[in-house]
Structure 1
Amino acid sequence: MFRVLFFVVLFSYVQSMAQINHPKASPFSEVEQEVGLSKITVKYSRPATKGRKIFGGLVPFGRIWRVGANESTKIKVDSDMKVIGNTLPKGTYALYAFPEKEFWQVVFHTNTEHWGDGRKNYNPKEDLFRISVMPQELPYHQENFLITFDSITHNTANMKLIWANTMATVPFEVDTHDQMKKEIVKQLAENPTAQTYYEAARYLQEQGVDYTIALDYLNKALELGGDTYYSHRVKSLVEEKLGDYGSAVKSAEKSLKIADSLGKDEFVRMNQKNIDAWKQLVKQK
């Protein structure tokens, strides 16, 4: 009995040692995309067309597809998001699709344990939700299946599923402004520096909101950190939005002078352009 057990163990060991590590026909890939303060991470495999008809062929219409190859594609969001009106809570999901000629159903699935598409083990009741998207025909050929992101703002990003000459787009939304308001309150309550106040003000200016608060933050940044070309630059833009063109000109002139001394030619040009425009507005008042 001992000899039999010994040979069974030895055979298993030899078998495991004999395995060859070979290149994958559908290599693994991972894409991470920041959206504001949030991040979307997708892990998937990238099959090639190899001259085959893909949608309606290798990937039959109406049947579940793992959105790639090998194990199921996984998508992780590190904060709550929206996808065409559906709430996608923070977490990891399996990503599936049911391609059709005229539309696709894209599925965010809560069970991440299935290999591939799960086939008979796949249970629609475990779907978090499904969305319908319209596939788009491309004027070029994409050999290896590709998942990428485009049209990225602080609050939105489009995930693109591209293979052969077809692309399906899945839009994501996140409330970055709400996150930023909480972050600003937190940072300003702890031990704010000139840079803290400047970054808070710049964010408000870029978003076009709360200009009066932004101006207060910039004054505190200048008080704590002294004159900087970037603080005076943003202050001039805020003052312009508040309709105070005279103050905007003075702030831009200060920014220009400091930028010129530091060799920041781009800021010299941008400030001079604004000074010329705002001086005209001052005359019209």
Structure 2
Amino acid sequence: MKQFIMATFFVATAALAFGQEKARKSPKVTTEANGIKVVYGQPSKNGREIFGKLEQYGKVWRTGANEATEITFSKDVNFGGKPVKAGTYTLFSIPDPKTWTVILNSKLGQWGAYDYDKVKDQNVVEVKVNRQALSTPVEKLTFTLPGNAVVFEWDDTKISVPVK
């Protein structure tokens, strides 16, 4: 009986450790400036072809890794030309070779974009922005908040959504 309990404990501990390691290959990062905060899982390129392959064109992406990316506005803003109330939203995007759709959704606590079809009726705004090609690839997905935009870059792509 003692051996059974020890074996069960070992298996449970190993499974828990493996699950946590697997879930956190991409570190959780917070970027905050100008009354905006972005919390996202930061994946790395690791030699992979990202857009059009790993993240397929025309399909919703969590715009990060692990949990879906969340963005918080401390005051009402104009996001890509559309009014958005102060608060926290899930940020999704739909990659495209030329024009991306960036989405703010009111359903928080989502893992990835797996349930997006069930919650897309909770979209607050959808904005289209032009993809900018980068001449030098960016290894890790990176969000910046230069004051008048929410910008993210990864691989050969830069996306900028104006914020006022």
Note if 1:15 corresponds to 2:6. Answer: no
Residue matched to 2:156: 165
Amino acid aligned to 1:169? S
Aligned-residue RMSD, C-alpha: 2.3
Residue matched to 2:131: 135
Q: Structure 2 vs 1, CA of residues 13 and 51 (structure 1 numbering), >3 Å: closer, same or farther?
A: closer
Tell which deviates more after alignment, 16-25 or 129-138: 16-25
Residue matched to 1:81: 77
Specify the structure having the higher radius of gyration (Cα). Answer: 1
After TM superposition, give the deviation of residue 17 of structure 1 in Å. Answer: 7.7
After TM superposition, give the deviation of residue 88 of structure 1 in Å. Answer: 1.0
For residues 173-200 of structure 1, give each alpha carbon's deviation from its aligned partner in whole angstroms, at most 9, with x where no partner exists.
1xxxxxxxxxxxxxxxxxxxxxxxxxxx
For residues 105-131 of structure 1, give each alpha carbon's deviation from its aligned partner in whole angstroms, at most 9, with x where no partner exists.
000001113211134654321100100
The match for 1:104 among 92, 95, 100 is 100
Tell me, in whole angstroms, the C-alpha distance in 2 between the residues paired with 1:142 and 1:87.
31
CA contact (8 A) 2:32 2:145 kept: no
After TM superposition, give the deviation of residue 13 of structure 1 in Å. Answer: 8.9
Tell me, in whole angstroms, the C-alpha distance in 2 between the residues paired with 1:64 and 1:140.
25
Note if 1:54 corresponds to 2:45. Answer: no
**Identical-residue share of aligned pairs (%):** 28
Residue matched to 1:209: none
Q: Structure 2 vs 1, CA of residues 65 and 167 (structure 1 numbering), >3 Å: closer, same or farther?
A: same
Tell me, in whole angstroms, the C-alpha distance in 1 between the residues paired with 2:49 and 2:11.
41
Q: Which structure 1 residue ranges, 5 or more long, are not aligned?
A: 174-285
| Structure with a larger share of its residues in strand | 2
After TM superposition, give the deviation of residue 18 of structure 1 in Å. Answer: 6.8
The match for 1:92 among 83, 88, 94 is 88
Residue matched to 1:274: none
Tell me, in whole angstroms, the C-alpha distance in 2 between the residues paired with 1:145 and 1:159.
13
Note if 1:43 corresponds to 2:39. Answer: yes
Amino acid aligned to 1:85? G
Q: Which structure 2 residue ranges, 5 or more long, are not aligned?
A: none
Tell me, in whole angstroms, the C-alpha distance in 1 between the residues paired with 2:116 and 2:32.
31
Note if 1:125 corresponds to 2:116. Answer: no
Tell me, in whole angstroms, the C-alpha distance in 2 between the residues paired with 1:22 and 1:66.
20
Note if 1:67 corresponds to 2:63. Answer: yes
Q: Structure 2 vs 1, CA of residues 13 and 142 (structure 1 numbering), >3 Å: closer, same or farther?
A: same
Tell me, in whole angstroms, the C-alpha distance in 2 between the residues paired with 1:147 and 1:96.
13
CA contact (8 A) 2:89 2:105 kept: yes
Note if 1:30 corresponds to 2:30. Answer: yes
For residues 105-163 of structure 1, give each alpha carbon's deviation from its aligned partner in whole angstroms, at most 9, with x where no partner exists.
0000011132111346543211001000000001211001111122x2xxxx2111100
For residues 27-47 of structure 1, give each alpha carbon's deviation from its aligned partner in whole angstroms, at most 9, with x where no partner exists.
11000012xxxx101000111
Amino acid aligned to 1:15? A
After TM superposition, give the deviation of residue 82 of structure 1 in Å. Answer: 0.7
After TM superposition, give the deviation of residue 99 of structure 1 in Å. Answer: 0.7
For residues 59-114 of structure 1, give each alpha carbon's deviation from its aligned partner in whole angstroms, at most 9, with x where no partner exists.
00000000000000000111111113211101110000011111000000011132
SS of residue in 1 equivalent to 2:67? coil
Q: Structure 2 vs 1, CA of residues 14 and 25 (structure 1 numbering), >3 Å: closer, same or farther?
A: closer
Amino acid aligned to 1:25? K
Tell which has more relative contact order, 1 or 2 (C-alpha 8 A, sep 6+): 2
Q: Structure 2 vs 1, CA of residues 88 and 120 (structure 1 numbering), >3 Å: closer, same or farther?
A: closer
Residue matched to 1:260: none
After TM superposition, give the deviation of residue 25 of structure 1 in Å. Answer: 2.0
CA contact (8 A) 2:36 2:145 kept: no
SS of residue in 1 equivalent to 2:47? coil
